[in-house]
Chains A and B, each alone.
Chain A
């Protein structure tokens, strides 16, 4: 079953505005990751936050993690038309003995209006 659920499913904003996407998950995690997918392409990793971290920045991206609420948010500041894509959160539930894959949410489709 899906681990993460993104909210909202779709988001349309004006260029230059900030975009916030949320993700909730169900079980304990080692880390949570955000990926971007442009239409018809593969997923590209954006940022990873470990379970013992609360906030992380990378360029115009800011990710927060609240393990008590099992939720995360991705903030994209000063959005650009090129940010138009689908964004997925993914949890790593690695329990030792080897990686067993990420569990993805259903994604948020972000549209940046020029």
Chain B
């Protein structure tokens, strides 16, 4: 059974600082997804990582995937307040279409 774990679950950062959110998953998966959720809102797709070594960047966020280590990272560069949200990673159980989500990392960026 696929399990997805994120850490940290809570992250308070100062503007301008860098940090990394980690996502580990327990069984083989060939893809990994990152989503953002603002309070009271639905989920917004950020990145889809489809292969080992995949790296994608959008603004101050960069995601990478290491399928051998079963690890994905979401790196935040020079954080700004607008990045405050909850970030989820998710992976599909082998051969299935649904996603298993981590518990989410609640990011708070303070001035």
A, B in one complex: no
Which residues from chain B sit less than 8 Å from chain A, CB to CB?
A: none
Which residues from chain A sit less than 8 Å from chain B, CB to CB?
A: none
